[in-house]
Amino acid sequence: MRVDGNFEKTVQTSSSIARKVKDVLRQTSSADPMLHSICGLLAQEVPYYDWVGFYLIDQDHEGQLVLGPYVGAPTEHVRIPIGKGICGQAAATGRVFLVPDVLLEENYLSCSPEVRSEIVVPIMRGEKVLGELDIDSHSIDPFDGWDRALLEAICEMVAPLI
Ligand code: SME
């Protein structure tokens, strides 16, 4: 178990967050407000989630990700070519990218010098990448299997609605 301030990474905290995400899915009918509420919920619940956002594959330009709903500082990276940066690599491979220290990652697009680590979890339909959930943290190496499992579960929940 890992502790950050008063926050504990436990099965209980993870189940509680997943339950709240399910409530959002039940209560909200259109995709953008729903995704935005999930960003707000995650940023509020997990103290080291400093920027939380969705990137979606642009249906008109399939080689690009386009920024969707997010919570946190505005980013210049509104469009990201597949393969570029951490987001582009996750989209290219359909795999989770967990970067403990962004200063050590060569293929990285910086949004702000405050960001020190990042996790990107693809949203899949079968083998196809629909988009991804991107989280930046101002802490070094805060993400582990707890985050990965929670975020993968959330991406599975939102996939049918994208
Ligand atoms: N750092 C990302 C770019 C998106 S921002 O984090 C919001 C990347 O390297 O792909």
DSSP classification of residue 80: E
Ligand 1 atom at minimal distance to the Cα of residue 87: 10
Ligand 1 atom at minimal distance to the Cα of residue 88: 10
Q: What is the pLDDT of residues 39-78, one digit of tens each?
A: 999 999 999 999 999 999 998 877 899 999 999 999 999 9
User: What pLDDT does residue 121 have?
Assistant: 98
> What is the pairing mode between strands 79-81 and 64-71?
antiparallel
Q: What is the pLDDT of residues 79-107, one digit of tens each?
A: 999 999 999 999 999 999 999 999 999 99
Contact 111, 77 (CB under 8 A): yes
pLDDT beyond 70 at 129:
yes
User: What pLDDT does residue 28 have?
Assistant: 84
